Amino acid sequence: MRIFDPHIHMTSRTTDDYQRMHDAGVRAVVEPAFWLGQPRTNIGSFLDYFDALLGWEPYRAAQYGIRHHCALALNPKEANDRRCAEVLAELPRYLLKDSVVAVGEVGYDSMTPEEERAFEAQLAMAAENDLPVLVHTPHRDKVAGSRRSLDVVKAAGMPPGRVLVDHLNEPTVGLVADSGCWMGFSIYPDTKMDPGRMVAILKEYGTARMLVNSAADWGRSDPLKTREVGDAMLAAGFGQDEVDQVLWHNPVAFYGQSGRLDLGTGSAGLDYAGNTIRRG
C-alpha cells in the first residue's frame, strides 16, 4: 500500500516516525504550516519555521525515502496577534519556493475579523501564485465555521477544485461535497475522525475528491492512521484501486495542481548521505 499523507506536522515528530511511516507505506507528505502549541510573538519565529519546512524537514524525510513538500501560511489562530499578522508581508517570497505546493492552513479558529482578513489576503496570494489552498475548519462551532469558510472561498473567486477543506466529520462533509471542493479528514486516536467512521463516510459519499490524513502533530496523534484507514477500507470490502485513489491519487491530483509536486526518488541528492540523521 502506497500512502501520501496530505496533512502531517512532521516538525513535531521524531526521526523514528519517518522510519515507521516508510515501513507502513508512506512515500510522500505535505506539511502545512500551523501553530506550535506555544504562541509565537514575532515574525522571526515564523521565518525560521518556514525555513525549516523548506530545508531541514525535507532533508530529514528524504533519509527515509519520503518526499516532503509543504503548504505555507499564517495560521488562523495566530492571525489574531498583531505581532504575528505582519508575517503576511513576508509570505509572498516564500510562496515562490519549489517545494511549496499550496497555501495553508488558512481559515477560521475563533471566527474573528482578524482571521477573516488573513484568510482573504492569503486566498489572493494563492491566486497570484497559482497555488491550491488548504482550508482548516474550526474545532468550535464547526458547521457554521465550515459554511462561512466556503462562502469566503466562493466570494474570493477561487475555483472549488483548487480548495481542500480539512478536518471534516459527519456534520460537515455534506456541505463540502456539495461545494465541489476537495474533502479532507484527519484521523486521530481520540478526537476528529477514527478509521471506522471514515470508512462509513467513504461508503456513503464515495472516494472521489476524498483525502485522508493523520494530521500528526504535538498532540495525541499517530502518523500511521492513514495506513489504518487503508486496512479498514480493505476489510470493509473496498478494492485496492479505491484505497490507492484515496491514499495516493487524490492527494497527487490535488497538490499536483501547483505544478511543483516532485515525486522522484526521495533521495536527498547525495547517495552517500547515509541513512541516519548524523549529529555532526
Partner 1 sequence: MEADHGAVHLLFPQAERRGGTGARRALLAALHADEATIRTLYERGDTGERLTILTALPELGLGAAAIPLVEDALRTNDARLVAAALGPYGARWLDDHAFRQGVLKCVFMEIPLASVSGLDRRTDAELTRMLSDYATERRAAGRPVPHDILERI
Q: What is the CA radius of gyration of the chain?
A: 18
**Least gap, CB of 56 to partner 1 (angstroms):** 7
Q: Of residues 11, 99, 149, 207, which one binds partner 1 by CB under 8 A?
A: 99
Q: Of residues 96, 113, 241, 264, which one binds partner 1 by CB under 8 A?
A: 96
Grid cell digits, residue 29? 507528505
How would you write 75-116 as a 3-class SS string? CCHHHHCHHHHHHHHCHHHHCCCCCEEEEEEEECCCCCHHHH
Q: Of residues 15, 41, 48, 51, which one binds partner 1 by CB under 8 A?
A: 51
Phi-psi domain of 171 (left: phi exceeds 0; alpha: psi -120 through 50; beta: other)? alpha
**Strand boundaries in 137-256, DSSP class E:** 163-166, 182-186, 210-213
**Least gap, CB of 269 to partner 1 (angstroms):** 5
Other CB atoms within 10 Å distance of the CB of residue 113:
8
Instruction: List all residues 6 or more positions away from 205 whose beta carbon is below 8 Å from its beta carbon.
Output: 173, 177, 183
Cβ(29)–Cβ(233) below 8 Å: no
**Least gap, CB of 197 to partner 1 (angstroms):** 38
Determine the size of the site formed for partner 1 (CB under 8 A).
Answer: 23
**Least gap, CB of 154 to partner 1 (angstroms):** 29
**x/- site string to partner 1, residues 255 to 274, per CB under 8 A?**
----xx-------xxx-xxx
Q: Which residue has the cell 472561498?
A: 153
Nearer to partner 1, 226 or 258 (CB): 258
Q: Is 86 in the site for partner 1 (CB under 8 A)?
A: no
**Least gap, CB of 271 to partner 1 (angstroms):** 11
**Least gap, CB of 98 to partner 1 (angstroms):** 6
Q: Is 127 in the site for partner 1 (CB under 8 A)?
A: no
Interface positions with partner 1 (CB under 8 A):
51, 54-56, 58-59, 93, 96-99, 259-260, 268-270, 272-274, 277-280
